[in-house]
Structure 1
Amino acid sequence: MSAADRRAAVVADHAPGDIRTATSASAGDPIEPRGVAASRLGPGARAALDRLVTLYLDRMRPELAGREYARIASGEQWFAWEGPTRPGGRHYYRVQGEDLLIEYDNTSDDGNHAHTVLRRPHGEFGADVLAAHRASTHHH
């Protein structure tokens, strides 16, 4: 990244203790996009971000990932980094799109234990469909 894009991408000097959306079944309240817009990045940094997002999307079934591949091309993602930028420090990053939230943290055990999550905020994978059905209909 250029120096200006790096300054925009690094939103905190210290990493959070865990992924921002925690271990709940849904992402909860929308997280305001922060960091640097993919459309603002130069060609090299943009290509690296596109490869990173593709790495996550390639693990999904094509019918679930399809729209997000199209959004990669349009540059509708944001990238944010928290923590030091030198190797070996506790760090966190997030990539956000319209219906995509990727979070990665390497904060446990002094940066030796990583967690990652991919969420679809408008269609969560972990939703409790049965509870939602029961709440919306009258069961006796």
Structure 2
Amino acid sequence: MTVRLRAHHLLCMLTFIGEGYTPAFTENYRRIAARLSAGEGIEIVAGPDDICAPLLSGGAAHCLNPSVVMRDEAAAEAVGRLLGMPVSEGTRLTPDAPMLARLRRNFAFGTIRRACEDCEWTELCGHVANNGFKDVLIVAR
């Protein structure tokens, strides 16, 4: 199987330590983290993805906001530039150790974080990065 991710979740996955919007969201994300850590591939999608799923059953899911789409565009551009390939709908990636290390190194340096501007999780993600990504749940095995 393949994990369907929107582009900005390529950044979010780097610092996920088990916190989230709701218990259902966090439980779902933990399952996805285990799948990615086991080497399952990623397919980039436009719009809500496997991580967003628990938030879509409510009223006004923020996953559909224009600001989130802009976050996807900024992340796709930054990650694509870093990896030397276009990142867009349909792109497939493997979250192996070299890719995660490269993304995390550049995340910590701030070179791929433009998509994180005005995100409510920016402070937590910055703290995780500043602490060497200790306790992250997505790790290549």
Mark yes or no: TM-score above 0.5. Answer: no
Whichever structure has more helix as a proportion of its residues is 2
Pairwise TM-score range, normalised by the shorter structure: under 0.3
Taking structure 1 as the reference length, the TM-score comes to: 0.26
Taking structure 2 as the reference length, the TM-score comes to: 0.26
Larger Rg: 1
Higher RCO (C-alpha under 8 Å, 6+ residues apart)? 2
Whichever structure has more strand as a proportion of its residues is 1
